[in-house]
Chains A and B, each alone.
Chain A
Amino acid sequence: MSAATPKRTIEPFLWALFSAGGVVAAMLVPGLLLLFGVAFPLGWLDPPDHAHLLAVLRHPVTRLVLLALCVLGLFHWAHRFRYTLYDGLQLERHKELISLLCYGGAVVGSFLAAGVLLQAM
């Protein structure tokens, strides 16, 4: 193959998912984790009652945002974790297996997320 016709790869697409996931995670995760992971359990704030939270969850915009957060967040993880394993642990040899587990995990997780969020109708 000559240099004039570079091989087409899926890499730019995966990088775009990684990048979008990085933005969504940076914007949304700290606030949500502070509330549900730390502030409510420690009693800094009273957790919302069930009826209110169910109404919020049932709103289509909420479910769309949460689905985007789950799918993009998982692909962000897959891409970054894949390279961390390659470079961090020098596992270049097991490239195919690592990619399969990372992106495969993200695909399966995305379907699970869609299932959970659809059930909340």
Chain B
Amino acid sequence: MSENVEYGGYYARWYRPRISRLWWLRRRSYLVFVLRELSCVFVAWFVVFLLLLARAVAAGEREYQRFLDLSANPWMLALNVVALCFVVFHTITWFALTPQAMVVRLRGRRVPGTWILVLNYLAWAAVSAVMAWVILS
């Protein structure tokens, strides 16, 4: 992490322990942390995939069919299966952090973290159901 602190006075030399570039392979919890952070790459990939879909749909029926063929390509399918695992991991870890990042008070009392967690999952289910209904109906 960077620090925007300005120090005055005298100091001979910063003490900077050298950290290996592969520090995150040392422990399971470190690896899980880095995998969670890397989920953002698949969020960005999904934005690209979504824009390809939107462009194809806007361009007409033939382009839409080409997009469907492209998404059935084994490499594309494999990429999207991996991406789906990562974005679900993102959702689970994001929801798990929400009660810690957000303190909600109702009539002066703190709403328990489990409630916030359950509400998040209910919202996720509702949003997904509405999207599926709009797309499939």
Binding site for B on A (CB under 8 A): 1, 7, 9, 21-23, 25-38, 40-42, 45, 47-48, 50, 53-54, 56-57, 62, 66, 69-70, 73-74, 76-77, 80-81, 83-84, 86-90, 92, 95, 109, 112-113, 116-117, 119-120
Q: How far is the CB of A115 from chain B (nearest CB, A)?
A: 9
Q: How far is the CA of A88 from the CA of B131 in the complex (A)?
A: 36
Binary A-proximity of B24-42 (CB < 8 A = 1, otherwise 0): 1000000000100110110
| Residues of B contacting A25 in the complex (Cβ-Cβ under 8 angstroms) | 43, 46, 87, 90-91, 94
| Residues of A contacting B71 in the complex (Cβ-Cβ under 8 angstroms) | 36-37, 40-41
Q: Known contacts A26-B95, A90-B19: does B132 contact A35 (CB below 8 Å)? A: yes
Instruction: Classify the interface of chain B: helix, strand, loop or mixed.
Output: helix
Binding site for A on B (CB under 8 A): 1-2, 4, 6, 19-21, 23-24, 34, 37-38, 40-41, 43-44, 46-47, 49-51, 53-55, 57-58, 60-61, 64-65, 68, 71-72, 76-77, 80-81, 83-84, 87-88, 90-91, 94-95, 123-124, 127-128, 131-132, 134-136
6 closest residue pairs by CB, A with B: A37-B80, A31-B128, A77-B44, A80-B40, A120-B58, A41-B72
Q: How far is the CA of A23 from the CA of B40 in the complex (A)?
A: 12
A selection of 12 A-B contacts at a CB cut-off of 8 Å is A27-B127, A29-B46, A32-B50, A34-B84, A38-B84, A53-B135, A74-B47, A77-B40, A77-B43, A80-B40, A84-B38, A88-B34
Q: How far is the CA of A69 from the CA of B53 in the complex (A)?
A: 14
Q: How far is the CA of A107 from the CA of B34 in the complex (A)?
A: 25
Q: How far is the CA of A7 from the CA of B60 in the complex (A)?
A: 52
Q: How far is the CB of A84 from chain B (nearest CB, A)?
A: 4
Q: How far is the CA of A7 from the CA of B84 in the complex (A)?
A: 40
* Pair B57/A84 contact, Cβ less than 8 Å: no
* Pair A70/B47 contact, Cβ less than 8 Å: yes
